[in-house]
Amino acid sequence: MTVSSFNPPSRMLMGPGPSDIHSRVLQALGRPVIGHLDPEFILMMDEIKGLLHYTFQTTNQMTLPVSAPGSAGMESCFVNLVEPGDSVIVCINGVFGMRMVENVERCGATAITVNDEWGTPIDLNKLEDTIKANPDAKAVAFVHAETSTGVQSDAAAISKLAQAGDMLTIMDAVTSLGGTPVMIDEWKIDACYSGTQKCLSCVPGISPVTFSDRALDVIRKRNHKVQSWFLDMNLIMGYWSSEGATRSYHHTAPVNALYALHESLVMLKDEGIENAWKRHQKNHNGLKAGLETLGLDLIVDESCRLPQLNAIKVPEGIDEALVRRRMLSDFGIEIGAGLGALAGKVWRIGLMGQSSTPRHVTLCLAALEGVLSDIGAPLKGNDAAGAAQKILLQA
């Protein structure tokens, strides 16, 4: 086998992640590696922690990037907080709630599930009943922004219910962080993980996490060692603590990916996180106007719809995979397929981070309209991009 260097094709990423990455972040990524214990690298790590405090809207001391993808960030929350014999209430309204159940069970604990239909938010009444019926449950785990459906649940209300039941909260903010408000301290969330490749528009492979002091206390008082050495927060904090010179080696940090994360967080801070939230909403509004023009429906009700992840119902009789293939081959645009129960039924268009711009919305709508027309799909109207512009070009 002869193998040459790989040159990626030109793409515009509008699926469920990764999202497009700004050249500033790619340049940071490609800077020469230095040691993971280099004094200057350690100063940068401190800056990342500060920037993550801002991004998560928290003062939690234990706020840091796990050196692995969001799935490992999820696992870091469960393996540190859950012990064999515990029970955890898990809200399921999509793929990632199901993955949480897997995590709970693999910790030797019991998952008590609250099931809601995919495409709807977590039902607060059902959750409240479940909390009351299971007063010994240790935690309530839920997905803030379900990437598989495009639904946002009411994290503040869920957290309040958990607190009333004296339970910890574990929140998945993989798709929400940086795109819609994630208020760790205000909502009193005890453990939260996210990903870098969505609204932060950084490279995939890193998972920012944050743990409250209450969660820290639970971790310190565990009866069993954390089952994962790699994800044991007691050990990781020895490396990420702010003691400077006394930092101890745990694993070799992904130095270059952290350069990139640093740069993407600097960009977010420079923009202002509230401005980023507004930008995501505005570009979503433009996309929505264009989709309405074409007669395409979003499956999620407006009241709980994520602006950054748009699940669109595939019209009857349309070969959904063909449309995605054509978007990719004719325009270099990646849009996402459905996952799990929604496989084959939806397209998922991400407007996340650097992929949330008028340019992305306009081209995506024009391309989608072109492809659908070309394969003979009946469309309600035309010039979807024009309809979007009316919103996108407003000051």
Judged by CB under 8 A, the chain residues 284 through 343 that form the site for its own copies are 328, 334, 339
CA distance 158 to 297: 28
Positive or negative torsion for Cα 58, 59, 62, 67: positive
CA distance 55 to 272: 10
Q: Which two tokens stand for residue 349?
A: 């268009």
Binding status of residue 33 toward its own copies by CB under 8 A: yes
Q: Which of residues 55-94 bind its own copies (CB under 8 A)?
A: 67-72, 74-75
Maximal C-alpha separation, the chain: 66
Q: Of the ranges 21-29, 164-172, 180-188, 272-280, which one interacts with its own copies (CB under 8 A)?
A: 21-29
Q: Output 132 or 251, the one with its CB closest to its own copies.
A: 251
CA distance 311 to 261: 27
Binding status of residue 103 toward its own copies by CB under 8 A: yes
Residue 277 CB, nearest approach to its own copies (Å):
20
CA distance 346 to 336: 9
Residue 312 CB, nearest approach to its own copies (Å):
18
Q: Which of residues 214-253 bind its own copies (CB under 8 A)?
A: 225-230, 249-253
Q: Of the ranges 3-11, 164-172, 214-222, 363-371, which one interacts with its own copies (CB under 8 A)?
A: 3-11
Residue 3 CB, nearest approach to its own copies (Å):
5
Residue 350 amino acid letter: G
Positive or negative torsion for Cα 297, 303, 307, 309: negative
CA distance 305 to 249: 43
Residue appearing with tokens 């405090």: 53
CA distance 36 to 252: 6
Residue 83 amino acid letter: E
Residue 45 CB, nearest approach to its own copies (Å):
10
Q: Which of residues 163-222 bind its own copies (CB under 8 A)?
A: 195, 197, 203-205
Among 51, 88, 182, 199, binds its own copies (CB under 8 A): 51
Q: Output 36 or 280, the one with its CB closest to its own copies.
A: 36
Q: Output 304 or 341, the one with its CB closest to its own copies.
A: 341
Q: Of the ranges 34-42, 55-63, 120-128, 135-143, which one interacts with its own copies (CB under 8 A)?
A: 34-42
Rounded to the nearest 5 degrees, what angle is found at the Cα of 362, between the Cα atoms of 176 and 357? 40
Binding status of residue 160 toward its own copies by CB under 8 A: no
Q: Output 105 or 383, the one with its CB closest to its own copies.
A: 105
Looking at the DSSP assignment, which residues form a beta bridge with residue 89?
Answer: 112, 140
Residue 98 CB, nearest approach to its own copies (Å):
11
